[in-house]
Amino acid sequence: MQFAIAIPTDADSWRVVRRAEELGFARAWFYDTQMLSADPFVAMAAAAIKTTKIRLGTGVLIPSNRIAPVTANAFASLNKLAPGRIDFGVGTGFTGRRAMGLGAVKLADMEEYVRIVMALLRGETVEAEIERKKRLIRLLNPELGLINTRDPIAL
Amino acid sequence: MTAKLGAGWIATASDIEGAVAAMTDMQERRRAAGRETEPIDAVVLTGGAILEEGEPADSPRAIAQAGPRAAMLLHRAADAALAGLPMMAPMPPSVAETVAGYVELARKFTPQGAHYLENHRGHLMFVKPEERPFVTAELIRRTTYTATERELRERFAALAEAGYSEIAVQIVPGQEHAIEDWGRIRRAFA
């Protein structure tokens, strides 16, 4: 059995994440609660630079907070800072959406969102509905090395 | 969807029985998806506090560290009553009256029609002064992992036995020092 921490995201959550790493915790989950706490990708980036082995995951990302290509890009960007240590935790949105008076994202929409994100991270050209129209998209030049789509990002 | 995709899984059950039942259900879904032989990254996401022997579950420390997690049930109940949103978690009968009291308070939140602004203020981070009377020792006991170190080790061992591979404990803002206590429990499972 391994142990992890789950944190209402603070922009400098890296401090507690680094301590968690020192204490042997295996993972840190960052809340995606935009009306309540800091942005998880900002905090995860700082934690990625300040740690060396603890896994960093969104706990859990709300699909409606970012379009799928932006999420794929964010994870690939983090993956350059912490190769192979990134976890894509996703949910239908509870706290983050209810704090704005909204219910959960539909499960089918979340599944479609995950499909697009993971396909982009695999380097595929994928059809996605953006601004109410189906379009073909892909990450255009990962070979430049500005992001990392080589090391796996776990779902 | 988790079973279909062979993804890792985060469960949020606040008690052992609920967590075991959730795992049983997940294992059945994985069998149906043909994934029963694949390893699963199964996380229990929770919060709580490690009590000293004799320390009550509503001590100032427990309120600070576990109270925000316990207050989730209050916020969910208010969302259900005022906006028709699903409860998402069972209501332990022993706290039903307490929770109902909070819902009556939430009816007065302003602006009217946007109760969620005050209802979710501090969600999972701190106990609001007006909700403090409803964050009782019983609510904390029933909805969080708040107990002595010995009891928590037994509970976590039961979760491991059920098939979970990770316990994720919430660290509340301002209570980061609690990580040292949880680190002790982590070492017991090393």
Min Cα separation A61/chain B (Å): 12
> Do B84 and B116 sit in the same domain of this protein?
yes
Number of H helices, E strands in chain A: 5, 6
Taking the Cβ of residue A62 and every Cβ of chain B, the question of whether any pair is shorter than 8 Å is answered with no
Taking the Cβ of residue A11 and every Cβ of chain B, the question of whether any pair is shorter than 8 Å is answered with no
Q: Is residue A47 part of a domain?
A: yes
Taking the Cβ of residue B181 and every Cβ of chain A, the question of whether any pair is shorter than 8 Å is answered with no
Expressed as residue numbers, the domain containing B49 is: 1-64+146-190
> Do B190 and B125 sit in the same domain of this protein?
no
Strand partners, A4: A27, B168
> Do B77 and B113 sit in the same domain of this protein?
yes
Of B124, B166, B185, the CB nearest to A27: B166
> Do B59 and B77 sit in the same domain of this protein?
no
Beta carbons of B88 and A107 less than 8 Å apart: no
> Do B137 and B170 sit in the same domain of this protein?
no
| pLDDT the model gives residue B14 | 79
**Cα distance between the two ends of chain A:** 19
> Do B71 and B119 sit in the same domain of this protein?
yes
Beta carbons of B125 and A37 less than 8 Å apart: yes
Beta carbons of A59 and B47 less than 8 Å apart: no
Residue appearing with tokens 């079973």: B3
For the record, the structure tokens of B24 come out as: 């049983």
Min Cα separation A141/chain B (Å): 27
Distance between alpha carbon B67 and the CA centroid of its chain, in Å? 10
Residues in chain A predicted with pLDDT less than 70, given as ranges, are none
Q: What integer is the mean pLDDT of B165-186? A: 96
| pLDDT the model gives residue B6 | 81
Has residue B109 got a pLDDT over 80? Answer: yes
Expressed as residue numbers, the domain containing A63 is: 4-106
> Do B73 and B135 sit in the same domain of this protein?
yes
| pLDDT the model gives residue B87 | 82
Task: Determine the Cα–Cα distance for residues B144 and B15; give it in Å rounded to an integer.
Answer: 7
Task: Indicate the length of chain A as a whole number.
Answer: 155
| pLDDT the model gives residue B81 | 93
- For β-strands A133-137 and B9-11, DSSP reports them as unpaired
> Do B8 and B59 sit in the same domain of this protein?
yes
For the record, the structure tokens of A57 come out as: 């995951």
For the record, the structure tokens of A14 come out as: 């890296």
> Of B89, B92, B65, B43, nearest to B147 (Cα)?
B65
CA torsion through residues B5, B9, B13, B18, sign: positive
Task: Report pTM.
Answer: 0.95
Has residue B88 got a pLDDT over 80? Answer: no
| pLDDT the model gives residue A29 | 98
B34-57 tens-digit pLDDT: 888 888 899 999 999 999 999 999
Task: Determine the Cα–Cα distance for residues B103 and B126; give it in Å rounded to an integer.
Answer: 18
Q: Is residue A91 part of a domain?
A: yes
DSSP secondary structure, B101-169, as one string: HHHHHHTT-SSTT-HHHHHTTTTTT---GGGGGGS-HHHHHHHSEEEEHHHHHHHHHHHHHHT--EEEE
Min Cα separation A152/chain B (Å): 13
Has residue B90 got a pLDDT over 90? Answer: no
Min Cα separation A134/chain B (Å): 23
Apex CA A41: angle with CA A40 and CA A47, to 5°?
90
| pLDDT the model gives residue B15 | 84
Has residue B190 got a pLDDT over 80? Answer: no
* Dihedral, A86, A92, A94, A98 alpha carbons, nearest 10: 130
Give whole-number Cα distances, A152 to A85, A87, A88, in Å: 8, 9, 10
Complex ipTM value: 0.94
Distance between alpha carbon B29 and the CA centroid of its chain, in Å? 23
> Do B136 and B78 sit in the same domain of this protein?
yes
Of B120, B165, B171, the CB nearest to A98: B120
Domain count across chain B: 2
Q: Is residue A130 part of a domain?
A: no
For the record, the structure tokens of A45 come out as: 């980036």
Q: Is residue A9 part of a domain?
A: yes
Domain count across chain A: 1
Maximum C-alpha span of chain A? 49
> Do B5 and B96 sit in the same domain of this protein?
no
Residue appearing with tokens 């002595």: B148
Task: Determine the Cα–Cα distance for residues A95 and A117; give it in Å rounded to an integer.
Answer: 22
Taking the Cβ of residue B166 and every Cβ of chain A, the question of whether any pair is shorter than 8 Å is answered with yes
